[in-house]
Structure 1
């Protein structure tokens, strides 16, 4: 019976996220990720067939983690309060997970999805379709609840937090705590007081 692997799939993905956050997609090579983990170069190939497979895993895991947390916040309170809380949560998540936030801020294109294996491209397409459907439905529901247009709701939920964290993420810094307060106040003004 063989011994258990010293490094998990998540160890390699975490290393790739760190490398991406400091050096962009070019920094994420199979050998650099193995080196970052402290594993022999060959061991990464037991988990990922090639660089496109690794890049797809980095993007998909990061988006799923973020969206799972955001979904929990959106379901936790009455609709308007949950939306306001979600705006602040997004900034907090970026502060607490700055390297993953840099990955998300870069966007899927930075991970060359056109080179991914077919199953990863299909997973991305299915994920994007489901996400777009959820966003449209959420915006409609909140628009009905608040009397705001759905584009105003979508701006508040997604563009507003991103606008506040963008300058910090571009420089590789976590957004300060005051950014959460700013986003929450603005979201409340738009969704609850406007």
Structure 2
């Protein structure tokens, strides 16, 4: 039977994702993707142009999927007055667990590989712009959550939220993936308890604003001789 040809971008990324997550990422090349997908070399080169662009596209899709789940969780995770902000943080912290369930290969790619190790920085400007936009949307989620809990969007508040929704769930999910198992309800319950304990702690004071540099500060009035 002739191999089915895949031509949509998502189909090609699905095949590439399986190649990367089933072994060494260095085993993925544009030619190996063409062979595995049943597509022509020209189709693959036209879609991606280079291996780094292909890997960047994979990372972009994975991070976008996770960010969409976080946005859904942030909207749905509300409770009674006074707890809505905390409930939203908990819901977003649990989003990576749902990410693994819905998109296991994307989650393995996202959590098992550091972005700077997956592809180089030599990318076309439009891909760089998409990467920056995704990063910006993640930061927006952190700031929104921080303001929902403490009515603060400064560095201290955002870093506390990052511990809750990035560091803790990322470490738990990464360990589950390495052990080839899903995060069970007990694990999710412990994650929720840890997040609620963190947001219950008082925050440090707001960091002081940097003093204006001499080049931007108003000139001092001169005294008469």
Name the TM tier (shorter chain).
0.7 to 0.9
Q: What are the residue-to-residue correspondences of 1:32-71 with 2, within 5 Å?
A: 32-71=32-71
Q: Secondary structure at the match of 2:46?
A: coil
* TM-score (normalised: structure 2): 0.71
Output the CA distance in 2 between the equivalents of 1:36 and 1:174: 27
RMSD of aligned Cα (Å) = 2.5
Which residue of the partner structure matches residue 163 of structure 2? 155
Query: Larger relative contact order (C-alpha < 8 A, sep ≥ 6)?
Result: 1
CA deviations on 1:118-142 (whole Å, 9 max, x unpaired) are 2111221233234324423422432
Output the CA distance in 2 between the equivalents of 1:18 and 1:165: 19
Aligned with residue 136 of structure 2, among 118, 129, 144: 129
Aligned with residue 89 of structure 2, among 55, 59, 83: 83
Alignment CA distance shift 1:40-1:133 (3 Å): same
Which residue of the partner structure matches residue 29 of structure 1? 29
When structure 1 is superposed on structure 2, of 129-138 and 60-69 the one drifting more is 129-138
CA deviations on 1:148-192 (whole Å, 9 max, x unpaired) are x62333211221111211222235x24332322321232234336
Output the CA distance in 2 between the equivalents of 1:53 and 1:128: 17
Output the CA distance in 1 between the equivalents of 2:105 and 2:87: 28
- Structure with the bigger percentage of helix: 1
Residues 73 and 91 of structure 2 are in contact (CA less than 8 Å); yes or no, is this contact kept in structure 1? Answer: yes
Which residue of the partner structure matches residue 125 of structure 2? 118
Output the CA distance in 1 between the equivalents of 2:137 and 2:93: 20
Q: Secondary structure at the match of 1:49?
A: coil
Output the CA distance in 2 between the equivalents of 1:156 and 1:28: 34
Pairwise CA distance, 1:6: 4.2
Greater C-alpha Rg:
2
Tell me, which stretches of 5 or more residues in structure 2 are unaligned?
79-83, 203-225
Which residue of the partner structure matches residue 222 of structure 2? none
Matched length: 186
CA deviations on 1:44-101 (whole Å, 9 max, x unpaired) are 1232222222122111111111101111111222322122122222212124322211
Which residue of the partner structure matches residue 92 of structure 1? 98
Residues 98 and 174 of structure 1 are in contact (CA less than 8 Å); yes or no, is this contact kept in structure 2? Answer: no
Output the CA distance in 2 between the equivalents of 1:193 and 1:112: 38
The 4+ residue runs of structure 1 with deviation greater than 4 A are none
Output the CA distance in 2 between the equivalents of 1:181 and 1:35: 44
In the alignment, does 2:174 pair up with 1:166? yes
Pairwise CA distance, 1:24: 3.7
Output the CA distance in 1 between the equivalents of 2:195 and 2:59: 28
Output the CA distance in 2 between the equivalents of 1:15 and 1:22: 11
Output the CA distance in 2 between the equivalents of 1:134 and 1:183: 19
